A and B are shown apart, each in its own frame.
Chain A
Amino acid sequence: MATLEPVGALALPEVPQLGEPIHKPLSDLEVKLEANRCLYCYDAPCMRACPTHIDVASFIGKIATGNLKGSARVILEANPLGASCARVCPTEELCEGACVYKKDDTPIRIGDLQRYAVDYVRNNGIDLFTPGRPSGRRVAVVGGGPAGLSAARDLRLFGHAVTIFEAREQLNGLNTYGIVPFRLDYDVALWEAQQVVNLGVEVRAKTQIGVDVSFETLSQDFDAVIVACGMGNVPKLGIPGENLSGVWDALDFIQRAKLGKSLGNLGNHVAVIGAGNTAIDALTCAKRLGAERVTMYYRRGEDQMTAYEFEYEFAKQEGIEFRFFCAPVKIVGEGHVSAVEFVRTEIPKSAGKQSPIQVAGSEFVEMVETVIRAIGQTRLRDVFSAAGIETVDGVVKVDEQLRTTREGVWAAGDCIFAKGMREAMVVEAAEQGKIVARSVDAFLGAAH
């Protein structure tokens, strides 16, 4: 096989901030009060609600006794992505939503305390983990996002050699490139990836499986392969005018904003199509980049929005406008977008979940200079078919141990995330990475 060139320490490029972070770190006083307010419940509901089952009572108790290193260890042992999760987890829906104090509406600020503890090891350069005794087994990980990193971390603790193949320049997937900077700093995402790399993970960056290296090479050269390539771009709307300049894929848009690359002139009015959490990020990002008006257009009603309630609230506070029951039919402009034609929609009254239908003759035109599509993500079907693994609607088919239909190939993260489940989340990807690592370890052990 080709010799692998490990990349050295990840470089931290200078990235401009898109305004104030949403969450400021807690002050020492707040930490003290909050850590002592926790009841340290037994078999705590917060722990059960965390997809990675971080022992919250334990890590908060350790903050209270000043054992910050121990606290961070409890967090990161259970969740290798603990630094980013502390910032991007929808805690209201997870741990904090389950906290026993929630009844009084004052749950413990678990995410913020988690951030405090992990920042302690981050700021003090403390190493918490050491790789396991070498097993002589080699595992390839396709995709260095949250799922791939989590799997790689635990596989190194088990002593297996790990090579991550990552199409992009930097690791940590959407944490690095997709999550808006006022939620998650670029340097936190890279620090987190670096902790995994430091355990002796070989990284082949800018190496796309299927283009630069074939999947078959991997399955020949490695004892196990983990597919953790996430999802693809935002699909096209399928209406005229989509190729005009000023029409963006939300992920490209956020990525360019995050990396400080030019987005041209956004104009006065930005339209975002879609109503999920990615739409909220695109909306708030555009607003913070200086667009005067930013409007979300959605073909269903407010109640059917897939964005979390608190995300919706946040968008309102940022000054976003909302238009429900309308769908774009045509993007208009000469070279650059100048307007979008919409049609009103309605949901048929009959029972069941219905698709909205267009109301004939209800067309209207909105003057906009930028259009951002945020209607979900495509599936990386090429990778899956090249790997010879079965999919359902573009979602990789796995069993409860996250084995694909092909022996020796596992999958984790957004690529196995099926519609109708809860939102794709970093913390889910982290948990799946752990499950995959255990499953692969059992397989390699048995194969000895």
Chain B
Amino acid sequence: MADLRNDLAGIKSPNPFWLASAPPTNSGYQVMRAFEAGWGGVVWKTLGDPIVNVTSRFAGLNWKQNPLIGLNNIELITDRPLDENLKEIRECKKAFPDRAIVGSLMEVPVREKWHELVKAVQNAGVDGFELNFGCPHGMSERGMGSAVGQQPDLIEMVTSYAVEATELPVIVKLTPNITDIRHCARAAARGGAAAVSMINTINSLIGVDLETWNPIPHVDGKSSHGGYCGPAVKPIALNMVNECARDAEVPIPISGIGGISNWQDAVEFLLLGATNVQVCTAVMHHGFRIVEDMTDGLNNYLDSRGIETASELIGAAQNRITTWENLNLNYKIVAEIDQATCIHCSKCYIACEDAAHQCIDRNVVDGTAMLVVDADHCVGCNLCMMVCPVEDCITMAEIETGLPPQTWKQRTAALASTT
């Protein structure tokens, strides 16, 4: 049994799995159920001046048989009175003192208003705050959410409003709807944030109904752009987390959010620099119970590798990401097809033929297509392996080039010195 305990900027939880601020953390009833299921912490549904929501609110992106690989929403922050939320926070904290409860806040950029909100929520017994500078729809039109998160100077200013009103750790939740997230994370750090969390949802439109020409989802025939999340956004989130993790001007821990569905996704976030993770869409899809396999799977994974504490994973692979110019140009791999497991679908062939480098030979023998890689011409792009439906049927084998490692940087430097 590995030690899964987590500490994000002083906020402690029994495991690194938190619920993100979203519908699953909307009420005390839900949070109690979540804690019973084993979640280590929750970020409460964003608190602020109660708003009015519309119907409908969500739409899903399905891809072939896979439902909900992405989710779009036009929901706003909590639509329940602050007092009610605070009373329930108090009850949850009392019932589960070992779990983390973080209050997510949104407010117009006015110092007094922030102080007031921070103090009120602090009195409910939260372990810390998360500032929602990310919500990309609705609230941003009113100067909040991503309207703040898209301007580093505003991020810094509003962060300081919250930080000066409390001793508790303040996490700043960032929007991905920017060009370079590091500028936003640096601003949060300058403003005194104890941690950053990312990503909030990405501006998106799911689609249009071909019959009615109504947008999906629609509110009485109209819609506005929404926020996109779910498995499809994971690569974007991973990159942003890693960019901040490697940035010297972001010397604070990161809570990773975006498309995390299982323990494997979580391990990837930790390895690339997140200290813990938050989950929303996967719970909206399957319920709180998924945390059982998250903790069990993480535990078994750590045990199988002889790793004693989950926190040893944090950032352990983050510096394997570098800039392109630092990659070894003399590293070569080529595709290899395992004839024993090949099911002869020729997917690899047509992918390579039409979209890569025409280096898979295809011979039909007794009606069955036999596929063989022309190793001399294969550029090792991975495409055939990616399209092959059989796991481990196409593998990429390392080729000994006999050449010492050389990066683009080294090559151009060498060229410059010879000329």
Footprint of B on A, CB under 8 Å?
A: 28-29, 32, 36-37, 40, 42, 58, 61-62, 64-67, 69-70, 73
Residues of A within 8 A of B264 (CB): 65-66
Inter-chain contacts of A65 with B (CB < 8 A): 262-264, 293, 297
Q: How far does the alpha carbon of A40 sit from the alpha carbon of B390 in the complex, in Å?
A: 23
Q: For B289, what are the chain A residues with a Cβ–Cβ distance below 8 Å? A: 42, 58
Contact of B263 among A29, A37, A67, A69 (CB under 8 A): A67
Chain B: minimal CB distance from A293 (Å): 37
- 9 closest residue pairs by CB, A with B: A67-B297, A70-B296, A65-B262, A69-B300, A29-B390, A62-B293, A65-B297, A28-B391, A70-B300
A62 touches B389 (CB 8 A): no
Is there an interface contact between A67 and B296, defined as CB atoms closer than 8 Å? yes
Pair A37/B65 contact, Cβ less than 8 Å: yes
The CA-CA distance from A70 to B296 in the complex, in Å, is 7
Residue of A nearest to B292 (CB): A58
B305, CB-defined interface residue at 8 Å: no
Contact of A58 among B293, B300, B343, B389 (CB under 8 A): B293
A-B pairs with beta carbons under 8 Å apart, 13 shown: A28-B390, A28-B391, A29-B389, A37-B65, A42-B289, A61-B293, A65-B263, A65-B293, A65-B297, A67-B263, A67-B296, A69-B300, A70-B300
B235 contacts partner chain A, Cβ-Cβ < 8 Å: no
The answer for the CA separation of A73 and B299 in the assembled complex, in Å, is: 13
The CB with the most chain B CB atoms within 10 A, among A29, A37, A58, A70, is that of A70
A182-B84 Cα distance, complex, nearest whole Å: 63
Q: Which residues of chain B have C-beta atoms less than 8 A from A37's C-beta? A: 65
Chain A residues, CB < 8 A from B300: 67, 69-70
Nearest-neighbor residue (CB-CB) of B285 within chain A = A40
Q: Report chain B residues within 8 Å CB of A32.
A: 391
Task: Kindly state whether residue B286 has any CB partner on chain A within 8 Å.
Answer: yes
Q: Specify the main secondary structure of chain A where it touches its partner.
A: helix
Bound Cα distance from A62 to B297, whole angstroms: 8
Q: Which residues of B contact A40 (CB under 8 A)?
A: 286
Check: B287 CB closer than 8 A to any chain A CB. yes
How long is the Cα–Cα vector from A70 to B297 in the complex, in angstroms? 7
The distance from the CB of B38 to the nearest CB of chain A, in whole angstroms, is 13
* B391→A67 contact, CB < 8 A: no
Q: Given contacts A29-B389, A58-B289, could you give 12 more A-B pairs where the C-beta distance is less than 8 Å?
A: A29-B390, A32-B391, A37-B65, A42-B287, A62-B296, A62-B297, A64-B262, A65-B262, A65-B264, A67-B300, A69-B304, A70-B293
- Measured between alpha carbons, how far is A46 from B391 in the docked complex, in Å? 28
Give residues 243-264 of B contacting A (CB, 8 Å): 262-264
0/1 string, B287-323, CB within 8 A of A gives 1:
1011011001100110010000000000000000000
Cα of A65 to Cα of B296 in the assembled complex, Å: 11
Residue on B nearest A28 in the bound complex, by CB = B391
Residues on the B chain within 8 Å of A58, using CB:
289, 292-293
Q: Beta-carbon contacts of B368-395 to A below 8 Å, as 1s and 0s?
A: 0000000000000000000001111000
A61 cross-chain contacts in B, Cβ below 8 A: 290, 293
User: B65, B297, B343 — which one has the most chain A CB atoms within 10 A of its CB?
Assistant: B297
Query: How far is B300's CA from A61's CA once the two chains are assembled, in angstroms?
Result: 15
Nearest residue in B to A41 (C-beta to C-beta)?
B286
Chain A positions within 8 Å of B389 at CB level: 29
Taking the closest CB of chain B, its distance from the CB of A60, in whole angstroms, is 11
A68 to chain B, nearest CB (A): 9
Decide: B391 and A29 in contact? CB cutoff 8 A: yes
Chain A residues within 8 Å of B290, by CB: 61
Which residues of chain A are near B65, meaning CB under 8 Å?
37
Knowing A28-B391, A29-B390, the reply to whether A67 touches B293 (Cβ < 8 A) is: yes
Residues 219-243 of B at the A interface (beta carbon under 8 Å): none
Q: Report B-chain residues with C-beta under 8 Å of the C-beta of A36.
A: 66
List B contacts of A73 (CB < 8 A).
296
Q: In angstroms, how far is the closest chain B Cβ from the Cβ of A113? A: 15
Contacts of B343 in A (CB 8 A): 29
Question: What is the CA–CA distance of A212 and B264 in the complex, to the nearest angstrom?
Answer: 55
With a 10 A CB-CB cut-off, give which of A42, A62, A73 has the most chain B CB atoms: A62
Determine the residue in chain B with the shortest Cβ distance to A62.
B293
Give complex CA distance A22, B296 in Å.
Answer: 34
List residues of B (267-296) whose CB comes within 8 Å of A's CBs: 286-287, 289-290, 292-293, 296
